[in-house]
């Protein structure tokens, strides 16, 4: 399973770091995605790095998207590419669940 964790400035670092490590411990392929590749400052001043920009990824390649809290979601929702990425994964998820209902 491939998981996207979204990153932006003022993310709650505990809501970012803990899921990141837990997903990796369980063997998931995890990518940290942000509007641009680089370092982002958390709510408490910790610098966190993204692996990919939203322009470099395709939502069709992901099974799950995780949006950590803090003020990052407010900043992420201002980016239409991020919104489209999340909406596409949600649409795929709903479609696959509808097809699996007996």
What average pLDDT does the segment 15-44 reach? 97
pLDDT in the model for residue 91: 83
Residue 27: which residues within 8 A CB-CB, separation 6 or more? none
Could you tell me the CATH number of the domain that includes residue 74? 3.40.50.880
Helix, strand, coil shares, percent, the chain, to 5 = 45, 25, 30
Banded model confidence at residue 47, pLDDT cuts 50, 70, 90? very high
* Residue 10, pLDDT above cutoff 60: yes
Q: How confident is the model at residue 49 (pLDDT cuts 50, 70, 90)?
A: very high
Please tell me the total count of domains within the chain.
1
Average pLDDT over residues 21-42: 97
| Residue 39: domain span | 2-100
- In this predicted structure, what is the pLDDT of residue 90? 85
């Amino acid at each position: 399973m491939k998981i996207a964790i979204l990153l932006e400035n003022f993310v709650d670092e505990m809501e970012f770091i803990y899921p990141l490590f837990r997903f990796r411990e369980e063997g998931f392929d995890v990518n940290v995605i942000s509007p641009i590749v680089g370092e982002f400052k958390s709510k408490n001043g910790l610098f966190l790095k993204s692996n990919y920009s939203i322009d470099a990824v395709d939502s069709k390649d992901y099974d799950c998207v995780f949006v950590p809290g803090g003020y990052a979601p407010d900043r992420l929702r201002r980016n239409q590419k991020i919104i489209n990425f999340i909406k596409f994964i949600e649409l795929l998820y709903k479609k696959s669940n509808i097809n699996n209902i007996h």
